[in-house]
Structure 1
Amino acid sequence: MLKFYYDSFSQPCRALLILLEFNNVPYEPCLINLARGDGFKEEFRKVSPAGKVPAIDDDGFQLVESAAIMKYVVSKYRLPDHWYPKDIRKRAKIDEYLSWHTDNLRNGAASYMFHKYIGKKMMGLVHDEKRIKDAKKMLQKSVKMIESRFLKDTPFINSHKITVADLQALCELTQLWIVEGEIDPLRESPKLKEWMDRCTRTLGASFDRAHALLYRARGKGTFNSKLNMSGLKLFFDAFSQPSRSVWLLLETNAIPFVPSLVNIASGDQHTRKDFLEVAPSGTVPAIDDNGFYLFESSAIMKYIVSKYQLPDHWYPSDMSKRAKIDEYLSWHTGNLRMGAAGYMFMKYIAKKMLGKEPEEKNVEEAYNMLQKSMNLIENYYLKDTPFINSKEISIADIQAACEFTQFYMADLDMLKDRPHLNDWMERCKSELSPKFDAVHAMVYLAREKGAFKDL
């Protein structure tokens, strides 16, 4: 039977719990009390090396990261198609939201709750007003994005029926109920409130059961064959790691596309109307496939693999193999990407481009996250396979490789003292040759010019 490791106060856990309960999927509940330190227990770490929830053990098949688990559950238990549609465009739009969710709504809502309430209540931390303000701003910006983009033309997120994307967003916003009345994104957003009401009506008792402890906390005031692709337009910046990932997938598979350069350093993401129509978030990469718009690199790569029938190893059709790739991609955004991009920006780019000295505390935090992420890749994602969770190269490897190559601009080799990771990178370069070097030409040029050296 499926073992489900969860903490009811965890937003991603509740999303998965609702999916299982609503669809009557049998499971063995394994409660993990994160506040009590259960995340550090050796037995749990065997299933979830990072010590995070949710996690599952399905007769020896282990998986972490809520989005990856929900996709796996939909496939394995043959749940109704609307939860995670088979139609490649419908699925791509759900993937678009799920990829965006981690860095935006989840980052804003979870950070706000932690810095404003949980850190002080449970850990005795002093309020950091700047972090609280930044998190609240991100939360409010994310809510506006959901209204204006993801719920623009549909009653549910990018869909006419409820999906796993709605569960993720819904459970993120319900976390704010713990501090009833102190912050309520729905108060200023009738459209968002209507969406939430639709979700809760649809989910019925499953929603209430999953939120039972949350209601109690609130009540107690606890916290007070390749097709013709000539029409595919890729919006990208060669200095953007996710942009290079999509670019590299297209080039390696000889898929023709119309390049549309977006110069982030010059502010194109704020002024180009053609780009903002495709990517309202103002982030690269983004694609316009003959009127079908999509942003978020992992969603784009999955869409490209499916639509243009690329070799199966890029994003396997086998649901267990695919789930392991999804596991990495979900983890990547909030860990390796955050650590690598954060360290590179604060240590080098911010000073070069903005003339600002970085705060050493922030630099150290990003560096520690980077090191922790590299440890997990070595000890978990590359533990038994030559590529990330796979015997063959996949889009997960492209994402990770392009993150590490960003350091080339500062003439840094973050892998030189890590033979296991270095061997993996060399395998990736070999598989992606000669397109790997072509895609990284601007990065190499920045290194040769010493653009970010010795800052």
Structure 2
Amino acid sequence: MPLELYLDLMSQPCRSVYMFAKTNNIPFDFKQTSLMMGDHHGEEFKKINMVKKVPAMRDGEFCLSESIAMMMYMVEKFKTPDHWYPADLQKRARVNEYLSWQHMATRMHGSKIFWINIMVPKIMGKEIPQDKRDDAIEELNGTLKIMEEKFVGDKQFIAGDQISLADLVAIVEIYQPFAAGMDVFEGRPKLKAWKDRVRQAVGPELFDEAHKGVMGAMEMVKGMDGSKLEAFKPRIQKMFF
């Protein structure tokens, strides 16, 4: 019986889970769960993940949330190639180092730009204050500097010569502001070269498929009925105003 993966590829963690499963030929049923349509708030989905977030996974009677936990579960269950989560102590530590750091760095700061450039104007009908926009850009630039100089550096990938879970988790977060109109790779040659290597390692066709939706997010959100996004207003108010 294949895994059930509840995903919305507009979500960064969903894209990392999707690419990992597809790259490793792990059988799964794709359960489309639209964040924009509020599918994650339904009673049926709550049975899968009580915190009402994607991605979520069901393996028989076993349900799991959190993208990193899900990929580690698949590493163990399906005995994926060692480079994804290396047995070597120090290489694994490099993967864990990035995964531990990224929650309050690439994830938080990359997401903020996406909200500022795409979601806030549509939902609130106004731009956020310029000082908060400038602060968000400065925070992301600082994160990208650390990403390029520390985590990528002169290596092929974050943990060494081969792609790992850390690279998948990193690339989807970095693509979020990129899709929102901020060229995060401009003036960062090492980061751009790393991005190209990750895309090649995953497979260009799969990589582009996974990111197709988010790369068209600006036009998609513009065409949406703003009233359907009302549920996001409290979150935006708390974050930006």
What's the TM-score, normalizing by structure 1?
Answer: 0.46
- Secondary structure of the equivalent of 2:14? helix
Indicate the residue corresponding to 1:113 in structure 2. 114
Query: 1-side partners of 2:202 and 2:35: how far apart?
Result: 26
Partner of 1:199: 198
2:79 counterpart SS class: coil
Cα distance change, pair 130–51 in 1 and its aligned pair in 2 (3 A):
farther
Post-superposition shift, 1:77? 0.8
Taking the aligned partners of 2:6 and 2:163, their CA distance within structure 1 comes to: 24
Tell me, yes or no, if structure 1 residue 89 matches structure 2 residue 55: no
Cα distance, 1:34–1:124 mapped onto 2, change above 3 Å:
farther
Cα pair distance change 1:77/1:185, threshold 3 Å: same
Change in Cα spacing, 1:73 to 1:125, as seen in structure 2 (3 Å) is farther
Render the CA deviation track for 1:144-192: whole Å, top value 9, x for unaligned.
001111112411113221011111111112223433xx41110010110
Counterpart of 2:128? 127
| TM-aligned CA distance change 1:193 to 1:8, over 3 Å | same
SS, match of residue 5 in structure 1: strand
State the structure with bigger RCO (CA 8 A, min sep 6), 1 or 2.
Answer: 2
For the residue of structure 2 that corresponds to 1:25, the secondary structure is: coil
For residues 183 and 215 of structure 1, the distance between their equivalents in structure 2, rounded to whole angstroms, comes to: 12
Question: Any idea what the Cα deviations from partners look like across 1:265-298, whole Å, max 9, x if unmatched?
Answer: xxxxxxxxxxxxxxxxxxxxxxxxxxxxxxxxxx
Q: Deviations over 1:107-138 (max 9, x none)?
A: 10001211232122245464143332222112
CA shift at 1:215, angstroms? 4.0
Q: Does 1:208 align with 2:195?
A: no
Give, as a single letter, the amino acid of the residue that structure 1 aligns with 2:208. D
Tell me the SS of whatever aligns to 2:135. Answer: helix
**AA aligned opposite 1:198:** R
Flag as ranges the 4+ runs of structure 1 deviating above 6 A.
Answer: none
Q: CA deviation at 1:83?
A: 0.5
Q: Could you list the runs of 5+ residues in structure 1 that have no partner in the other structure?
A: 224-364, 367-455
Q: Distance in 2 between matches of 1:71 and 1:34?
A: 24
**Residues in 2 aligned to 1:108 and 1:82: alpha-carbon distance in whole angstroms:** 28
Kindly provide the amino acid, as one letter, of the partner of residue 210 in structure 1: A
SS at match of 1:207: helix
- Of structures 1 and 2, the larger Rg is shown by 1
- Tell me the TM-score normalised to structure 2 length: 0.85
In structure 2, distance between residues paired with 1:76 and 1:125: 48
Q: Give the AA of the match of 1:196.
A: K
**Distance in 2 of aligned mates of 1:208 and 1:202:** 12
> 1:43 aligns to what?
44
Mark the runs of 5 or more structure 2 residues left unpaired by the alignment.
Answer: 223-237
1:81/1:125 Cα in 2 relative to 1: closer, same or farther (>3 Å)?
farther
Alpha carbons of structure 1 residues 131 and 50: separation in structure 2 relative to 1, 3 Å? farther
Match of 2:67 in 1: 66
| C-alpha separation in 2, matches of 1:151 and 1:189 | 11
How far 1:216 moved relative to its partner? 4.0
* Mapped pair 1:23 → 2:24: yes
Identity across aligned pairs (percent)?
A: 36
Check whether the contact 2:6–2:56 (CA below 8 A) recurs between aligned residues: yes
